[in-house]
Amino acid sequence: MMNRRTAIQAGVCGGLGLSLGDMFRLQSQGGDAFSMTQGKTLKDPKALSVIQLHLGGGVPQHESFDPKPESPVEYRGAFGITKTNTGEIFSENFPTTAAVADKLTVIRSMVGKIPDHATATYHLFTGYTPTAVIDFPQMGAIVSHELGKRGELPPYVAIPNNHSFAGGTGFLSSTHGPFELNADPAERNYKVKDFSIPERVSMQRFDRRKTAREIVEQKIRNLEADPTTLDTMDDFYQQAYTLLTSQESQAAFALDGETEETFELYGRDVVGLKGPDNRFHPKGLAEKMIVARRLVESGVRFVTVTYGSWDSHVDVQRDCLDQMPALDHAISGLITDLDRRGLLDTTIFWVTSEFGRTPKINNTSGRDHWARNYSMLVAGGGFSPGLIYGASDSIGGEPARDAVPLENLMHTIYHQLGIDANKELLAFGTRPIEIIKDGKLVKGLLS
């Protein structure tokens, strides 16, 4: 049975010489890529959501999850080690994360491609290196496209905003881009930008404006040669209207109901060493991570959180002392909180950086870019807990065992979400593009 909207569209399309079948074909594309091949959908996906904590700049593997205490000092650096609750070792910078290591999967043999920030970040977020011919969609956009919404909230949210090097929706419709907070949850007067109806506009007046817009849009539709353009606008308007008027949706972004115990768990008051020039010293990670948890708890599919600046060409020790205490507490706090709430089994937590740092400390006490081997941390969503996967060589410069190309890890994350990473989407109406090219499932990472 046709609803009112479909009936109106059918009449408009008829006036344009399009059949009802033509209309449905147009709607299936919606200005978007569509499936070229039938993807394999898992009947029982292990994960429903992803939280990606991105540490832009290149986190040093030696000072985090792959310390080399037996190496010469110019390789191992200034920090000692801490024992994890599984008997492994992390850098001493991560004592609280070490206490939840039995819930983590640490990959010490990641392999990137190019040690350049822009190119490597794009690769990390999309699975492809950039080309002049085609722009590829971010993983969050793919998840939005393939799985859609789980409730009123957008399927993809960026806290506080989309990373500048991370690309966007690529050849997918812009409706699959991230909803950006453009606000810092740690600020005293934190409020998501443009998230409330202006005080001078009553709810009744707001509803009248929405109705008026719909009437005007319908008049435009009578002249519009491609009604699918307005379908996309409808999605934007409806999503905005829902966010502006739904108390449940707005509550997901708020921190009012959180306890002091929760803020303490995530390390709200933990601060690092202020360097002499106060260059970094970022704050607010605890609040960002709590909002991320609230969002997946409310049905958001994919959340990205960005934190810090990790391009430590000079004085890597100072940068670690400044940023890692808050990072340590935020990681362990989120893992503990997700586990307590029964969300860890269905939420993939992924700590990323576009590459690692050089094995040898340079003459300015820093480490430079290094994509040939680095570490990543994953947890939940069917990944094997308490696992150290792969190994680097004695100085942390090359994979010594079980190398994991980035495409393989992304393929595995898609698999856990029930998305066939080999599926082809038809970009620009003519060109088949695999969600991930040449990626393989890493079964050894999974429970």
Closest CA to 362 of 404, 311, 327: 311
Gap between the Cα atoms of 272 and 361, Å rounded: 22
Is the CA virtual torsion 189, 194, 196, 202 positive or negative? positive
Q: What is the pLDDT of residue 10?
A: 40
Gap between the Cα atoms of 142 and 7, Å rounded: 31
Strand partners, 404: 110
Gap between the Cα atoms of 66 and 393, Å rounded: 10
Gap between the Cα atoms of 377 and 103, Å rounded: 11
Which amino acid appears at position 17 of this protein?
G
Closest CA to 52 of 125, 148, 105, 153: 125
Quick one: three-class SS letters along 353-395?
A: CCCEECCCCCCCECCCEECCCEEEEEECCCECCCEEECEECCC
Which amino acid appears at position 190 of this protein?
Y
Phi, psi of 55, deg, nearest 5: -110, 90
pLDDT, tens digit (0-9, with 9 covering 90-100), for 235-282: 656 666 666 667 888 899 999 989 999 999 999 988 787 644 454 456
Percent of the chain with pLDDT over 70: 77
Counted residue by residue, the chain has a size of 447
Domain ranges, ordered by start, for the chain: 41-190+255-445
Which amino acid appears at position 46 of this protein?
K
Q: What is the pLDDT of residue 352?
A: 98
CB atoms within 10 A of CB 266: 25
Q: What is the pLDDT of residue 27?
A: 33
Gap between the Cα atoms of 329 and 269, Å rounded: 10
CA distances from 73 to 26, 78, 321 (A): 63, 7, 18
For the entire predicted model, the pTM comes to 0.84
Q: What is the pLDDT of residue 189?
A: 84
CA distances from 322 to 225, 275, 328 (A): 56, 7, 12
Is 24 in contact with 34 (CB distance < 8 Å)? no
Gap between the Cα atoms of 18 and 9, Å rounded: 10
**Domain 41-190+255-445 - what CATH class?**
alpha beta
Residues of the chain with pLDDT under 70: 1-43, 193-245, 274-282
3-state secondary structure of 306: strand
Q: What is the pLDDT of residue 232?
A: 54
Phi, psi of 278, deg, nearest 5: 50, 40
User: For the purposes of burial, counting CB atoms within 10 Å of the CB of 59, is it exposed (0-12), middle (13-18) or buried (19 or more)?
Assistant: buried
Q: What is the pLDDT of residue 30?
A: 38
User: For the purposes of burial, counting CB atoms within 10 Å of the CB of 323, is it exposed (0-12), middle (13-18) or buried (19 or more)?
Assistant: buried
pLDDT, tens digit (0-9, with 9 covering 90-100), for 358-413: 999 999 999 999 999 999 999 999 999 999 999 999 999 999 999 999 999 999 99
Gap between the Cα atoms of 373 and 406, Å rounded: 11
